[in-house]
Amino acid sequence: MTEITLESARTMITAAIAYGEQAGLAPLAVAVLDRGGNLKAFERADGTSNVRFQIAHGKAYGALGLGMGSRALMNRAEQQPYFIAAVAGAIGGALIPVPGGVLVRSNAGDLIGAIGVTGDTLSPPDSPLRPADRHRGPTDSTPPRARSRRRARDRPRSRRRRSPRSVRP
């Protein structure tokens, strides 16, 4: 199973922050967690507030812990607020069920971590995460554009995405 390397975590962070700057977003903070929920890398642009680490971490940690992007967690929180509140309490409040947390999957489709972005309203959905989606590890042989254009029905059943949003390092 592939792991998120420090280099790939830094590449995802750099891509997300650069996208935010180019798109004219407020300063962003980005956290990347490994599959065990441990912080792999974090960076915040100049001008972000003092609690952005906790927010970015909570988005990624919640996505990882419940196996779905934080946009889907927000929808679930609207439908089952007691469940999300109970989970947040069980993990010490480290769950932020709003858009900006996305699962990271290996090229084989295995869950290897999560990325959390905070600092501005993410519109279109999770847009600072899209440059991170284009980053591929050194062992990947499929061009990024070709991979992103594959349809779910074209993939073997075992490789279909299991969550509403996921990215590959």
Q: State mean pLDDT over 9-29.
A: 90
* Rounded mean pLDDT, 129-142: 40
Per-residue pLDDT tens digits for 62-72: 999 888 888 88
Q: What is the mean pLDDT of residues 5-28?
A: 91
Give the list of residues 6+ apart from residue 141 with CB closer than 8 angstroms, or none. Answer: none
Lowest mean pLDDT among 56-60, 92-96, 102-106, 152-156: 152-156
User: Who wins on pLDDT, 29 or 153?
Assistant: 29
Residue 124 scores a pLDDT above 80: no
- Residues 48-83 as b/e (b if ≥16 CB within 10 A, e otherwise) read beeebbbbbbbbbbbbbbbebbbbbbbebbeeeeee
pLDDT at 155 over 50: no
Q: Which CATH class is domain 6-167?
A: alpha beta
pTM of the model: 0.71
Provide the pLDDT for residue 114. Answer: 93
Task: Specify the range with the lowest mean pLDDT, choosing from 47-61, 83-97, 114-128, 131-145.
Answer: 131-145
Statement: residue 30 has pLDDT above 60: yes
The count of residues in the chain is 169
Segments making up each domain of the chain, as ranges: 6-167
